[in-house]
Every structure is written in C-alpha cells, then in structure tokens.
C-alpha cells in the first residue's frame, strides 16, 4: 500500500554517538541549583548551639558580653563558668588579646571590661590550691633500675 510518491528507505544509519557533554552540563546545572537552594532559598539557621562551635567574631562578642556582665555584677565564678564553655586553651590570653584589639579600635569601655575580667581570672588562678595529690616523680636519665649493668665507653683518642 505504498503510494508512488513514497519511498522505502533501505539504508539504515546508526544513531550518531553523543558526547558525554550533556551529562557534565546536567551535573553542573544541578550543583548550581542545589547551591542556590541551600544558600539563598532555604539556608541553614543554627539555634541553641554550643559556644565553642561559634565563629571567631561571635566568640569575641560572647567574651565581650561576659566581661561587661562581670563588670556590673562582679560574679567571677559565673563569668569563668561561661568562659569555660568556649573551650579556649588560655582564656586569660584570649581576653587580653581581645582587649588590645578593642582598645586599638577605640572601644575603651569594652577594652576596660575585658581587661578587668582577664585580670580577675589571672589573679584567681595565680596560686591554685592543690585538689589532688601530686603524681609520683618520673625517673630521670641518671636513674637506672637495679640489676641493669652499665658501662662507660672509652673516650676515643687520636693515635699518632
């Protein structure tokens, strides 16, 4: 039932191979759309996080708030407990360096509060009372266990 105008195609041409460029394009577009969604449309909002997970700017604000509250109330125990939540290796150093930065920026009241708290913390820990017994002394290099022979090597001399 073919018309005279219709032809039967007898040559078969295999489909042309596509380059994997369309896969790379899809991955890039998916990544871009995912980042736009995560950063702009529905960003993560942290609430009630621990103070040690804060960034440096937020930690400075936290220390400053603690220092200002200490300057008003004088409650050193509460201030030191709140500073311990930051898990700074040396809280006195962190307070002192932040006080210097605040002073350089012209924030005299904040620098004074930070320095006051750093000074109070340092003076309260100058002579800590021992809470536990001292550990036993560790053996030194000159101590040798009994029964272990020791001998000294002769001093090398130059022969003429």
Q: In this structure, what DSSP letter does residue 107 have?
A: -
- pLDDT tens, position by position, for the chain (160 residues)? 556 666 666 677 667 777 778 889 999 999 999 999 999 999 988 888 889 988 899 999 999 999 999 999 999 999 999 999 999 999 999 999 999 999 999 999 999 999 999 999 998 864 455 455 656 666 555 555 565 556 666 666 776 6
Tokens standing for residue 154? 């002769």
Answering whether pTM is above 0.85, one says no
Q: Which of 92, 93, 114 is nearest to 103 (CA)?
A: 114
**Dihedral of the alpha carbons of 23, 25, 29, 30, in degrees to the nearest 10:** 10
Give 46's contacts (C-beta < 8 A, 6+ positions apart): none
């Amino acid at each position: 039932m073919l018309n005279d105008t219709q032809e039967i195609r007898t040559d078969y041409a295999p489909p042309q191979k596509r380059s994997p460029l369309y896969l790379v394009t899809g991955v890039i577009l998916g990544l871009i759309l995912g980042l736009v969604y995560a950063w702009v449309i529905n960003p993560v909002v942290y609430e009630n996080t621990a103070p040690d997970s804060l960034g440096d700017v937020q930690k400075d604000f936290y220390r400053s708030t603690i220092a200002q509250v200490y300057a008003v109330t004088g409650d050193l125990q509460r201030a030191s407990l709140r500073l311990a939540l930051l898990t700074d290796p040396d809280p006195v150093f962190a307070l002192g360096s932040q006080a210097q930065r605040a002073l350089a920026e012209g924030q005299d009241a904040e620098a004074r509060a930070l320095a006051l708290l750093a000074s109070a913390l340092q003076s309260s820990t100058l002579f800590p009372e021992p809470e536990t017994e001292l550990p036993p002394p560790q053996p030194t290099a000159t101590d040798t266990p009994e029964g272990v022979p020791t001998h000294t090597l002769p001093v090398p001399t130059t022969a003429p």
